[in-house]
């Protein structure tokens, strides 16, 4: 009998991620703003959640850096089934790598290849060091460079002081600054906390 999605995450995916060097502090489960569906003529709000947000390890006193999303599927489903959903989350979280897995095989889409690669063994999933190397090559700077250090600075008040979309906007801005850009434009809806974004951005830069 094949495992359901929860069992697949718990019994297959987590152990293999740990074997590949993804420790608990590098794996986050983030709640998102759920979509609204019309059921029986009435709107119903669905809760949103990504299965795994992978972060690169940081030095002591610094904050891990989000770089990838994994969407988990049931053991008997094709590994690439969650790629489209993960790509939708990618836009919300501003990460360059997305993956989908059934606990045995995985598929990936990445900014550095701009294509989906399917049916890869999960035992060969990228390690944190491998994703860091790909991230640095893609962004065009080393994360140890002085201009990139603001990316590692923890939020004033901790992670609870920001929403996931604020974190995505701040990281996007800091990446542009790390590449030498002197102009950054934020485009966020009313009520999404642009003042908070600006204050946290200045705090990290300072």
* Predicted confidence (pLDDT) at residue 49 exceeds the cutoff of 80: no
**Residue 98 pLDDT > 70, yes or no?**
yes
Mean pLDDT of 151-169: 93
Q: If pLDDT is split at 50, 70 and 90, which confidence band does 25 have?
A: very high
The pLDDT tens digits for 77-89 are: 999 999 999 999 9
pLDDT given at position 113 = 95
Statement: residue 204 has pLDDT above 70: yes
Look at residue 144 and tell me whether its pLDDT is greater than 50: yes
Longest CA span, the chain? 57
Structural fold of domain 1-139: tt1808, chain A (3.90.1570)
Query: Looking at residue 17, what is its pLDDT?
Result: 97
Is pTM, for the whole model, over 0.75? yes
In this chain, the answer to whether the domains covering 1-139 and 141-206 adopt an identical fold is no
Domain coordinates in residue numbering, the chain: 1-139, 141-206
What end-to-end distance do the CA atoms of the chain give, in Å?
55
At 182-199, the pLDDT tens digits run 999 888 888 899 999 999
The pLDDT of residue 37: 45
2-10 long-range Cβ contacts below 8 angstroms, 24+ apart: 2/74, 2/75, 2/76, 3/74, 3/75, 3/103, 4/74, 4/75, 5/72, 5/73, 5/74, 7/75, 8/72, 8/73, 8/74, 8/75, 8/102, 8/103, 9/51, 9/72, 9/103
CB hemisphere CA count around 80 (13 angstroms): 9
- Residue 26 binned pLDDT confidence (cut-offs 50, 70, 90): very high
pLDDT for res 52: 93
Give the pLDDT score at 3.
Answer: 92
What's the fold here for domain 141-206? Answer: Rossmann fold (3.40.50)
Contact call for residues 121 and 108 (beta carbons, < 8 A): no
Q: Taking each helix axis as running N to C, give the angle between helix 164-178 and helix 194-205, from 0 to 180 degrees, rounded to the nearest 10.
A: 40
Quick one: pLDDT band at residue 30, thresholds 50, 70, 90?
Answer: confident
Average pLDDT over residues 142-157: 96
């Amino acid at each position: 009998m094949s495992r359901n999605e929860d069992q697949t995450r718990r019994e297959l995916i987590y152990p293999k991620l740990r074997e590949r060097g993804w420790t608990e502090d590098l794996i986050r489960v983030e709640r998102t703003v759920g979509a609204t569906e019309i059921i029986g003529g009435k709107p119903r709000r669905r809760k949103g959640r990504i299965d795994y947000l992978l972060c690169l390890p940081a030095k002591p006193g610094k904050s891990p850096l989000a770089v990838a999303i994994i969407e988990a599927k049931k053991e008997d489903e094709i590994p690439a089934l969650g790629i489209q959903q993960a790509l939708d989350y990618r836009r919300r979280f501003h990460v360059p790598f997305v993956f989908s897995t059934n606990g045995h095989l995985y598929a990936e889409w990445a900014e550095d290849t701009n294509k989906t690669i399917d049916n890869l063994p999960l035992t060969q999933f990228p390690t944190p060091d491998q994703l860091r190397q790909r991230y640095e090559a893609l962004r065009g700077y080393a994360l140890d460079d002085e201009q990139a250090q603001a990316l590692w600075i923890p939020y004033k008040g901790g992670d609870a002081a920001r929403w996931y979309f604020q974190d995505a906007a701040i990281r996007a801005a800091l990446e542009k600054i790390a590449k030498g850009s002197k102009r950054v434009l934020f485009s966020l809806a009313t009520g999404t906390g642009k003042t908070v974004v600006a204050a946290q951005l200045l705090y990290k830069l300072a």
